[in-house]
Chain A
Amino acid sequence: MALLEVRDLKTHFRTDDGIVKAVDGVSFSIEKGKTLGIVGESGCGKSVTCLTIMGLNASKGTTTTGEALFKGEDLLTMNSKRLREIRGNDIAMIFQDPMTSLNPVHKIGDQLGEAILLHRDVTKRQARARSTELLKAVGIPHAERRLDDFPHQFSGGMRQRVMIAMALVNDPDLLIADEPTTALDVTTQAQILNLMDRLQDEFGSAIIMITHDLGVVAEIADDIVVMYAAKVVEQAPVDDLFKQPRHPYTWGLLGSLPRLNTDVDRLVQIPGSPPSLLNPPRGCRFNPRCSYVFGRCKEEEPGLMPVTGAPEHLQACFLDDETKELENRKLQAGSYAGGAG
């Protein structure tokens, strides 16, 4: 049984302008100890997907359907008490902006301690010891002393380390990281990614890594889900996705990665901007921006189908295999061999 299995998840927000289908039929699953990357542009529904799984966007006017089975229990329909037991204990989450994700008026130690005391029957002293241990594990010097500091006394990278420590404090089975490096500068990004990679070996948590940067997931993900306009357009093991991408949107994403070993004047860009989720285009949602578009794309919505000869590689595009092979070779000639970044 998969650790988390999401089936046909839909999250719709009712707004004054109409219904925004922020997540529209997303399915994926993740095994114990593995890393899944969810990639897509801003507003494609990747963050909403994870917030929905955690039950954290339950505002009025939101309807959620589908299933999110965590160890067989459906997170979407369970009562709030059970969900609270799972949150922060079995499933923990790291957010995008470490500058605003910690409460400015509480000491770091108290915020870490809160996460422990909510789920474990331990004394404050034991919670403090565990907090120190975790701060050490995420590489914060003078951990014991820094527990008494406030968030504003930490830099952005250090705060994200604190957030990671806080997420791991109860040894969760699943860690959801929502663009954990986006708000950080490049050198800090690499440090945080390495840290997460190392901690995954140590703690054995599965990780769902949400990002708009394929370079980020290339290094640490086992599988990748590519989302576009609230839907999954391609899903594959990381090597397959980088070597044999099957969807024009994925090609665009890969083509827009900067590369050092080729001499190009300009980066490839995907023309246009993502569609409004209030009123998505008919047929394939990517068709207005796709340079391979043909008649059928505008009429029919492609389903997610396995690639011939690669049952784990799913894609949602009507293009024939020959054209895809051809385009693939062109892309590879531009060369991003061995991953990206």
Chain B
Amino acid sequence: MFRYLIRRLLWAGVLFIAVTVITYVIFFIIPADPARLAVGQRATPETVARARHFLGLDKPVPVQYMLFMKRLVLHHSLGRSFTNRQDVNKVILQAAPVTASLVFGGVILWMAIALPIGILSALRPRSLLDRTAMIFVLIGISAPVVWIGLILQYFIGYKLGWTPNAGYCDLLDTQGGCGGPVDWAYHLILPWTTFAILFAAIYVRMIRANVMDTMNEDYVRTARAKGAPESQVMRSHVLRNALLPVVTMLGMDIGIALGGAIFTEYVFGLPGLGRLAVSSIEGFDLPMIEGIVIFSTLCIIAFNVLVDVLYAWIDPRIRLS
């Protein structure tokens, strides 16, 4: 286990360097001038040159990268934004809880939908429930997230007035007239639903397929031959095995989603990482982009390790070999 962790950490290091370098390369390939964007269209050439020097953009790209890495390793600082001079660390730490709220709430919602529907439709293939579920899956997978978000906003938020249409309230901080768990959840109902629909659809299909496969396994027949009632066969023999791959998928999906659920955040005006990423790219804000990329990479790496550990814990074949 120890050697495994060391290997994992080394890989994380390699991945980290690769991702940051690629981000730099892509950024400098794009024909745009961050310095001009930072000072505005009407600035004189001298101002632009000064800004360029101030931001360090007049140095060769590899030197810029080395400086960036040095600052990150020595001071754990991602630097300051090109456009508004804000501390990148601080901005990301403000946006991350918003995205995390959206993602974890969404995960709970989508699993709450996908588990029962997936299992029931596997138990009764071609039944009315199964067919209805498959139509839902088809819609969920085909419909663009933005469209689903807008439709929900229009009907539930605007027409019916049941939920707020946009905005975010902090889970703990109640200053500013909005905050606390109730307001937080109230504002997130629509974003959670929007975010969960696509994943719920994908997971229903995956869980259904896994459960159906597992029901044909020989050891399930063995359990029946022992005289086990159907409920026990399902619980103890089918589900335990069928849900193993779901754990892996879930871990990876959470890791990726934590880097920003761009569409959902955009539609509902949530100040999360996804929206931050879009605005930083629009403003050619290199430190901010790098910051978000690094944060998402860390999330993905962390969740992959978590999945591996969890998997080893629930699957004896991996734990003991």
B229 at the interface (CB under 8 A from A): yes
Report whether A84 and B218 are in contact in the complex, using a CB–CB cutoff of 8 Å.
no
For B94, list chain A residues within 8 Å (CB).
none
Which B residues are in CB contact (< 8 Å) with A54? Answer: 225
Given A101-B219, A150-B320, decide whether A118 and B226 contact each other with a Cβ distance below 8 A.
yes
With contact pairs A56-B221, A152-B321 given, residues A118 and B227 touching in the complex (Cβ less than 8 Å): yes
**Cβ contact of A86, chosen from B227, B228, B236, B240, cutoff 8 A:** B227
- A166-B226 in contact (CB<8A): yes
Cα separation A106 to B241 with both chains bound (whole Å):
10
Contacts of A153 in B (CB 8 A): 320
Q: Is the CB of B227 within 8 A of A103?
A: no
In the docked arrangement, what's the CA distance between A114 and B228, Å? 8
Whether a CB of chain B sits under 8 angstroms from the CB of A34 is no
Q: Which one of A35-43, A88-96, A184-192 contacts B?
A: A88-96
The minimal Cβ–Cβ distance linking A163 to chain B, given in whole angstroms, is 8
Interface stretch, picked from B107-115, B183-191, B311-319, is B311-319
Task: Give Cα A89–Cα B228 distance, bound, in whole angstroms.
Answer: 11
Min CB gap A208→B, angstroms: 13
Interface membership of B278, Cβ < 8 A:
no
Q: Which residue of A lies closest to B317 (CB)?
A: A152
Asked whether, in the complex, the Cβ of A56 is within 8 Å of the Cβ of B227, the reply is no
Nearest-neighbor residue (CB-CB) of B240 within chain A: A105
> Taking the complex as formed, is A284 at the interface, i.e. its CB lies under 8 A from any CB of chain B?
no
Q: Which residues of B contact A89 (CB under 8 A)?
A: 227
User: How distant is the Cα of A163 from the Cα of B224 in the complex, in angstroms?
Assistant: 14
| Distance between B235 CB and nearest chain A CB, rounded to angstroms | 12
Q: Are A100 and B217 in contact (CB under 8 A)?
A: yes
B residues in contact with A106, CB < 8 Å: 236-237, 240
Residue of A nearest to B314 (CB): A105
Shortest CB distance A242–B (Å) = 31
Interface SS of chain B: helix
Q: Say if the beta carbon of A317 comes within 8 Å of chain B.
A: no
| Chain A residues with CB under 8 A of B241 | 103-105
The yes or no answer to A119 lying at the interface (CB within 8 A) is: yes
B316→A152 contact, CB < 8 A: yes
In the complex, the answer to whether A102 meets B315 with C-beta atoms within 8 Å is no
Contact assessment for A104 and B317 in the assembled complex, using a CB-CB cutoff below 8 Å: yes
Q: Is B86 an interface residue (CB 8 A)?
A: no
In the complex, A97 has a CB within 8 A of chain B: yes
Is the C-beta of A87 less than 8 angstroms from some C-beta in chain B? yes
Task: Give the bracket for the number of chain B residues in contact with chain A.
Answer: 20 to 34
Nearest CB on A from B250, distance (A): 18
What's the Cα separation between A168 and B197 when bound, in Å? 50
Contact present for A119 and B227 (CB under 8 Å): yes
Inter-chain contacts of A88 with B (CB < 8 A): 225-228
> Is residue A73 within 8 Å, beta carbon to beta carbon, of the partner chain?
no
Q: Tell me if A85 counts as interface (CB < 8 A to partner B).
A: yes
The verdict on B222 contacting chain A, using a C-beta distance below 8 Å, is yes
* Contact present for A85 and B227 (CB under 8 Å): yes
Question: What residues of A have a CB within 8 angstroms of the CB of B226 in the complex?
Answer: 87-88, 92, 114-115, 118, 166
Q: Is the CB of B317 within 8 A of A150?
A: yes
Q: Are B219 and A104 in contact (CB under 8 A)?
A: yes
Among B222, B225, B240, B244, the residue within 8 A (CB) of A102 is B222
Question: Is B223's CB within 8 Å of the partner chain A?
Answer: yes
| CB contact under 8 A between A103 and B228, given known A152-B316, A152-B317 | no
- In the complex, the chain A residue whose C-beta lies closest to that of B226 is A88
Q: In the assembled complex, which residues on chain A have CB atoms less than 8 Å from the CB atom of B240?
A: 103, 105-106
C-alpha gap A119/B226 in the complex (Å): 9
In chain B, residues 262-321, which have Cβ atoms closer than 8 Å to a Cβ of chain A?
314-317, 320-321
Least CB separation from B222: chain A residue? A101
Question: What B residues does A87 contact at CB under 8 A?
Answer: 224-227
**Which A residues lie at the B interface, using CB under 8 A?**
54, 56, 84-89, 92-93, 95, 97, 100-107, 114-115, 118-119, 150, 152-153, 163, 166
Give 10 A-B contacts (CB < 8 Å), ordered by A residue: A56-B225, A84-B227, A88-B228, A101-B222, A102-B219, A103-B240, A104-B241, A114-B223, A118-B226, A152-B320
If A88-B227, A92-B225 are given as contacts, then 5 extra A-B residue pairs at C-beta distance below 8 Å, sorted by A number, are A84-B228, A89-B227, A103-B222, A103-B237, A115-B226
